[in-house]
Amino acid sequence: MKPVYHVIGTMSGTSLDGLDVAFCRFEYADKKWSYNIIKATTYKYSKIWKTKLSKAANTDALEFSILHNDFGMFCGNLILKFIKENKFNPDFICSHGHTVFHQPKKKLTVQIGSGASIAAVTGITTVCDFRTTDVALGGQGAPLVPIGDKLLFAQYDICLNIGGFSNLSFTKNLKRIAFDVCPANIALNYLANKAEKEFDNDGNMASNGKICKPLLHKLDGLNYYKDNPPKSLGKEWLDNVFIPVLESFPDLTINDLLRTCTEHIARQIATQITQIDAKKVLVTGGGAFNTFLMNLVRSKCKSEIIIPEKDLVNYKEALIFALLGVLRIRGENNCLCDVTGAKHDNCGGAVYLSASSK
């Protein structure tokens, strides 16, 4: 097998920020993987696409199938634009897609963005649909990033990502453990949108609010936090459980809701970091730029909180899905049963070949 790969990884997160596209180099030498993010960018979603993606779960079967293909064509064209503008020649494309349904107890997880469409538009072999094999094997199908944490970032005690949801991974007794901690940007953005803001920049709105102790108590008491891993969260849980709690306090200002919600997120994250007794914590994802949130986390735990260079903060998930695609092409496991609860480690991902691909 070749030791060096040049691959494009893409990621569309639950917070609907846009499509992350990263051109990455991976090298396997001395039984270790190394990486380099050569170039990466985020293509922001238009209001039309934000609406389509946010309402996808409520469409009928025909509309949903059309959206799946249309989003694949949309992603394919953005990837092709990225390739042509930078004169890249990727070996293949690895697309996470956009999660619409995630109900592993029903053996269901769905990410739209047809890999066949991406391969057709770009003329490049495309790997996608990384989660369904694990779910079919009885796993959560999430989180998938921990194998990348294990292979690329083993020098950190915890890898923490604060995206739409916050999640972390760490090694204990030679096993990789990972789980979703709590909602993060997806909840904060929901509240900021009510004030006609795209997001709470630097946590400024939250910092000007007051904590509502009854609301904080309700949020901290949600049953999910009592469950042991493996466990994961989806938008369905946010819509059916988390948001109704926020909306049960209609008299609170948006700033007070944001302050309380940010406090809740920081408490949940810091509690997990403290329980693991981590010395060095790598933090990535958009939440790493929320100054107020990160200061709260630092104030609640003794660990060294490390925020790396901007490209890694923004594109770590795209980087790791690129690596998952490399492992899939190599026929190697890219999903850990210790993390997801599946029957065994597995190699997930559908591969779409193009007639013009290498």
**Per-residue pLDDT tens over the stretch 288-340:** 999 999 999 999 999 999 999 999 999 999 999 999 999 999 999 999 999 99
Q: What pLDDT, in 10s, does the model give residues 152-207?
A: 999 999 999 999 999 999 999 999 999 999 999 999 999 999 999 999 999 999 99
CB 268 within 8 A of CB 118: no
Work out whether the CA dihedral 314, 318, 322, 328 comes out positive or negative: positive
40: confidence class by pLDDT, cuts 50, 70, 90:
very high
Q: Give yes or no for residue 358 having a pLDDT over 70.
A: no
Give bridge partners of residue 24 from the DSSP assignment: 7, 37
* Sequence-separated (6 or more) residues with CB below 8 Å from residue 81: none
CB 207 within 8 A of CB 261: no
Q: What is the CATH number of domain 158-302?
A: 3.30.420.40
Place of tokens 């029957």: 343
Tokens of 68: 């799946």
Q: What pLDDT, in 10s, does the model give residues 227-258?
A: 999 899 988 999 999 999 999 999 999 999 99
Q: What are phi and psi of 176, to 5 degrees?
A: -85, 125
Give bridge partners of residue 27 from the DSSP assignment: 4, 34
Q: What is the CATH number of domain 4-139+315-352?
A: 3.30.420.40
Q: What would you measure as the largest C-alpha separation in the chain, in angstroms?
A: 61
Average pLDDT score over residue span 116-139: 97
Kindly list the domain boundaries of the chain, sorted by start residue: 4-139+315-352, 158-302
Give the pLDDT score at 355: 61
2: confidence class by pLDDT, cuts 50, 70, 90:
confident
**Do 158-302 and 4-139+315-352 fall under one CATH topology?**
yes
Q: What pLDDT, in 10s, does the model give residues 342-355?
A: 999 999 999 999 86
Residue 339 CA to residue 85 CA, distance in Å, equals 38
**Strands 175-183 and 165-172: what pairing?**
antiparallel
Give the pLDDT score at 356: 61
Q: Which amino acid is at 51?
A: T
Neighbours of 305 (CB within 10 A): 20
Q: What are phi and psi of 155, to 5 degrees?
A: -75, -10
* Residue from 236, 215, 233, 235 nearest 224 by CA: 233
* Mean pLDDT, the chain, whole residue set: 96
Tokens of 77: 């064209």
357: confidence class by pLDDT, cuts 50, 70, 90:
very low
Give the pLDDT score at 1: 79
CB 109 within 8 A of CB 139: no
